[in-house]
C-alpha cells in the first residue's frame, strides 16, 4: 500500500469496511434467530472491493450493486436499518416488506439501481443509464459489479459490447473470488486473467488486488476519471476470495482447506489495519473509539428494524405493478435546454444518401413506397417475382422519365 490519500480518506475506507463486516455479522445473528426471512449472502473477505470501488464515485454518479455489495450501499449512504429491514421483510423497509434480500434501490436521492437476480443484466441497464446521463449533459459515471461466474453469461458479453460501441461512461467491476457457487474459475474459464475479456471489445482494463482497499480505490478512481473524460467503458478485475459459502445454507466444503487458510491470512481489514498503524494513521485508542461508534450505531439500527411491523396482509396485493403517475412519476431531469434535445432542433432528416440511391424521392418527385433511387429509365417488375417480359415475349417496355408508378403491384428498379 502506498500513502497517497488524505488522513480522512484513509479512515473513511477503514470505517466503511468495518461497518460492512459488522452489518453482516449482525445479520448472521438475526438469521440464526429466524428473524431474516430471505437468503443471506456474505461478502466476508471481499469488503475492500465494495468499499474501495464505491468510494471512488461522486455523489451524482450511479451504481447498481449485487448481493455481496452491501459495503457499496453503505458508502452511498444507505442506513444499516434499511439493510436489516429489507432482509427481515419489514413494513418500513425500502420495498415495504416485499423482498427478503437486497433487491432495493433509490433512484431519487442516492442514485442506486436495484440488483437484478439474472446475473449480467445490470451491465446493459447501467450502460443505458450512462448514455442517458450523457444525453442530459450530466457528466455522470455508472458502475456495477459482476462475479467470475457471471462473466460467462451471454448478457455480460452483449452488454459490454453495447457499452463499448456507445463509448458509455461506465465502469464494470469483475469480482474474481475464485468460486461460482461450487465451480472453481479454472473449470469455467480458460484464462488466467478475466480482465482479458475486455480486449474482445476494444476497451481498457485493470487488474487489482481485491484485498488491498487503497489499491482498489486508487485504480477505480483512475478508471472513473477516464470514463468521465469520454474514454468509454473500463473493466476492473479485482482478485479476491469468497471466504464463506454461496449463502448461509452452503458450508462450502468443496473449498480446499489450504486455500481457505491462505486467504484468511490475507484478510483485507487486518492488512489495512497494519498499514494504518504503521503510518500512524490509527492507534489502539482511535480503533477502540471507532468500534464503539459502530456498535452504538448498529444497536440503534437493529432495535429500529426489530420494532418495525410486518406488512399488513391486505398490502400483499398492492405495489406489485406500476400503474403510472399514481405509483410514481417517471420523467427526465433536464439539465440542458429542452429545446436542444427535442424536435425540431434534435431532429435529423430520416434519409441516408448514397450515390445511386437518391434521398427518398422517386423519379417523378413523389415519395416512393419502395425506393430504389432516382432513375430516369425504369422497368416494371411484377411484385409476384415472375418473369419480366413484353407482349408476346417481346423485350420489356422501357418507360421514359415521367410520373412514377404508384401501384402496390409494381416496384421500380434501376436498369
Would you give the DSSP letter of residue 119? T
Measured distance CA(91)–CA(175) in Å, rounded: 33
Q: List, for residues 53-71, the tens digit of each pLDDT value.
A: 999 999 999 999 998 999 9
Place of cell 455523489: 59
Would you give the DSSP letter of residue 231? I
- Comparing CA positions, the residue from 407, 356, 415, 414 lying closest to residue 382 is 407
363 has a pLDDT exceeding 50: yes
Average pLDDT, the chain: 84
Burial degree of 15 (CB within 10 A; 0-12, 13-18, 19+) = middle
The secondary structure of 353-370 as a DSSP string is: -BTTTBTSB-TTSSBPSS
| Whole-structure pTM value | 0.79
Q: Confidence band (pLDDT; 50, 70, 90) for 181?
A: confident
413 has a pLDDT exceeding 60: no
Strand 234-239 versus strand 170-176 pairing type: parallel
Residues β-bridged to residue 62: 142
Report the pLDDT value the prediction gives residue 184, as an integer from 0 to 100: 86
31 has a pLDDT exceeding 50: yes
Q: List, for residues 302-318, the tens digit of each pLDDT value.
A: 999 999 999 999 888 88
Amino acid at each position: 500500500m502506498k500513502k497517497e490519500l488524505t488522513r480522512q480518506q484513509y479512515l473513511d475506507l477503514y470505517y466503511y469496511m468495518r461497518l460492512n463486516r459488522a452489518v453482516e455479522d449482525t445479520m448472521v445473528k438475526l438469521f440464526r434467530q429466524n428473524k431474516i426471512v430471505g437468503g443471506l449472502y456474505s461478502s466476508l473477505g471481499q469488503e475492500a472491493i465494495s468499499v474501495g470501488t464505491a468510494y471512488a464515485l461522486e455523489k451524482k454518479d450511479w451504481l447498481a450493486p449485487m448481493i455481496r455489495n452491501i459495503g457499496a450501499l453503505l458508502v452511498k449512504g444507505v442506513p444499516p436499518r434499511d439493510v436489516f429491514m429489507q432482509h427481515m421483510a419489514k413494513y418500513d423497509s425500502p420495498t415495504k416488506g416485499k423482498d427478503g434480500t437486497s433487491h432495493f434501490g433509490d433512484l431519487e436521492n442516492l442514485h442506486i439501481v436495484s440488483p437484478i437476480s439474472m446475473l449480467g443484466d445490470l451491465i446493459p441497464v447501467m450502460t443505458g443509464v450512462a448514455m442517458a446521463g450523457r444525453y442530459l449533459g450530466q457528466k455522470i459515471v455508472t458502475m456495477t459489479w459482476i462475479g467470475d461466474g457471471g462473466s460467462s453469461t451471454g448478457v455480460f458479453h452483449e452488454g459490454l459490447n453495447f457499452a463499448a460501441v456507445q463509448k458509455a461512461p461506465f465502469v464494470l467491476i469483475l469480482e474474481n473470488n475464485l468460486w461460482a457457487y461450487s465451480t472453481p474459475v479454472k473449470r469455467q474459464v480458460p484464462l488466467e486473467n478475466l480482465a482479458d475479456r475486455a480486449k474482445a471489445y476494444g476497451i481498457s482494463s485493470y487488474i487489482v488486488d481485491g484485498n488491498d482497499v487503497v489499491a482498489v480505490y486508487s485504480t477505480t478512481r483512475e478508471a472513473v476519471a477516464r470514463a468521465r473524460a469520454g474514454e468509454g467503458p473500463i473493466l476492473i478485475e479485482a482478485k479476491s476470495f469468497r471466504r464463506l459459502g454461496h449463502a448461509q445454507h452452503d458450508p462450502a466444503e468443496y473449498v480446499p482447506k489450504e486455500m481457505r487458510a491462505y486467504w484468511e491470512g490475507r484478510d483485507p481489514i487486518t492488512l489495512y489495519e497494519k498499514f494504518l498503524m504503521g503510518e500512524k494513521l490509527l492507534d489502539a485508542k482511535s480503533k477502540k473509539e471507532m468500534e464503539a461508534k459502530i456498535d452504538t450505531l448498529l444497536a440503534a439500527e437493529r432495535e429500529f428494524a426489530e420494532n418495525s411491523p410486518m406488512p399488513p396482509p391486505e398490502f400483499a396485493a398492492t405495489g406489485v405493478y406500476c400503474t403510472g403517475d399514481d405509483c410514481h412519476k417517471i420523467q427526465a431531469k433536464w439539465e440542458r435546454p429542452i429545446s436542444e434535445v427535442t424536435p425540431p432542433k434534435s431532429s435529423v432528416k430520416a434519409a441516408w444518401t448514397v450515390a445511386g440511391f437518391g434521398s427518398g424521392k422517386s423519379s417523378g418527385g413523389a415519395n416512393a413506397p419502395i425506393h430504389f433511387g432516382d432513375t430516369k429509365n425504369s422497368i416494371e417488375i411484377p411484385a409476384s417475382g415472375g418473369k419480366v417480359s413484353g407482349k408476346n415475349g417481346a423485350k420489356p417496355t422501357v418507360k421514359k422519365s415521367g410520373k412514377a408508378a404508384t401501384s402496390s403491384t409494381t416496384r421500380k428498379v434501376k436498369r
